Amino acid sequence: MGLLQNKLKAQIPALQERAKTLIAEKGSSIISEVTVSQAFGGMRGIRGFICDTSNVSADEGLIIRGHPLLDIIDILPEEVFYLLLTGALPDESELKDLSSQIKANHHVPEYVWKVLREMPLDSHPMTMLTTGILVMQDGSEFKKQYNAGIKKSEYWEPILEDGISLIAKLPTLAAGIYRMHFNKGARIDPDPNLDWASNFAVMTGIDDPDGDFRKLMQLYLMVHCDHEGGNVSAFAAHTVASALSDPFYSVVSGLNGLAGPLHGLANQECLKFVLSVRDHFNKVPNQKELAEYCWEWLKSGRVVPGYGHAVLRCADPRFVAFINFGKEHIHNDDIFSIVNLLFDVVPGVLLEQGKAKNPWPNVDAASGSLLYYYGLTEFKFYTVLFSISRAMGMIAQMVINRALGVPITRPKSVTTDWIQENT
């Protein structure tokens, strides 16, 4: 058993006791009221379940275990996974131990590649990714131990074992899909001397003479790790996992939600808009020109992708992190210059228009431009990249929920007739 597992084993009794105490003392307390508009409007804003891995503050954005994102922006994805699970950053020995567990599980079985090779040539990379994960489900340790009669109090242990195995394999699987789908040549094996994100960068085969693409992947795969529990991908994975489906089934359910145009595809739409600006002006426009372009765009009935946030009252700190990375590493690039300029122009335009209460950018407004700059220009692959990271949050939530014995998700629905007659 690794140091991470030992730490969780020591923490979990206190977490279980805390949950029991809160239920006993505050079980009848009301944490949310539901309006008819919310019931018809996707349950937005309803407080309905617990997620301790992270929360999203309107004024600060993503907070991971009490740490505002920008305070921990330089940590590795392995460190953020440890933080999501335990509430503490790993020390040197704990990080080394977790990294060793990940490296020991990075191999993707050959039968997975055989299945992927048999898929239609025009299969979407997300379809290939989720298929690859499902093909590996037969190796689930949780499934084996559950069938053998493992105690309910121990469910979290094989869930974590499956989770580490899956997280370890995702860069190998995703990079292999990238090279296979986009005809980049033979797969590149992982390097045991590299960290998780750097390995992914190298396995894509993208030219990286200065190592900056590796740095971008370390940042990208860290900042997309989690976004509390109510987003589509996290909630889908939570719901499926609550039925005691193993992490392979549960993560795939979340990733299928992430594949939707209203969730994980947003960075593609943002980049397409930036490219439309560049192509329209055939240069980087000035602020006046860009403002006029945005006004015409809005008047045509369209929205400026990446702006007008439903929750945040500030710029998404993930966006800020990418902008800061670009300012440090990217110089004289038209696309990034336009992204940076949009941040100066669009919030003011949206406020003047009066339709967006919160005109601030989210992470998607910047991330695609950086990927594009470093040569990852295949839009269809961007959601796969998002998936590699977000799996960490899904799995961390699963482990904690199984440790706490969270029951199956089963909200009560009502009919429209009931609304008509009883409200």
- pLDDT band, very low/low/confident/very high, at 116 (cuts 50, 70, 90): very high
Query: Catalytic annotation on 364?
Result: yes
CB 198 within 8 A of CB 103: no
CA 257 to chain centre: 11
CB 101 within 8 A of CB 413: no
Crossing angle of the two packed helices 196-204 and 156-181, in degrees rounded to 10: 20
pTM, full prediction? 0.95
Which tens digits make up the pLDDT trace of 324-335?
999 999 988 999
The predicted model gives 391-419 an average pLDDT of 96
1 pLDDT more than 80: no
Average pLDDT taken over every residue of the chain: 95
CB count within 10 Å of CB 198 equals 22
- pLDDT band, very low/low/confident/very high, at 261 (cuts 50, 70, 90): confident
413 pLDDT more than 90: yes
Catalytic residue among 52, 67, 212, 263: 263
- What's the alpha-carbon Rg for the chain, to the nearest Å? 22
The upper half-sphere exposure of residue 143, i.e. CA atoms within 13 Å in the direction of its Cβ, equals 12
Q: How much is the pLDDT for 45?
A: 86
Q: How much is the pLDDT for 330?
A: 94
The Cα–Cα gap between 152 and 406 comes to 11
Which tens digits make up the pLDDT trace of 344-383?
999 999 999 987 778 999 999 999 999 999 999 999 999 9
Which tens digits make up the pLDDT trace of 180-232?
999 999 999 999 999 999 999 999 999 999 999 999 999 999 999 999 999 99
Q: How much is the pLDDT for 36?
A: 93
Query: Is 129 exposed, middle or buried (CB count within 10 Å of its CB: 0-12, 13-18, 19+)?
Result: buried
76 pLDDT more than 90: yes
Catalytic residue among 195, 226, 309, 316: 309
Residue from 288, 296, 266, 275 nearest 338 by CA: 275
Minimum mean pLDDT range among 183-197, 257-271, 316-330: 257-271
Domains, the chain, ordered by start: 92-264+380-403 (1.10.580.10), 266-373 (1.10.230.10)
Pairing of strands 61-64, 67-68: antiparallel
The predicted model gives 73-85 an average pLDDT of 98
Percent above pLDDT 70 for the chain: 100
- pLDDT band, very low/low/confident/very high, at 267 (cuts 50, 70, 90): confident
Q: How much is the pLDDT for 311?
A: 77
Query: Catalytic annotation on 344?
Result: no
Helix (H) or strand (E) holding 271, with range, is helix 266-281
Query: Catalytic annotation on 263?
Result: yes
Residue whose structure tokens are 């700059």: 373
Pairing of strands 54-57, 67-68: unpaired
Taken in order 157, 161, 163, 164, is the CA torsion positive or negative? Answer: positive
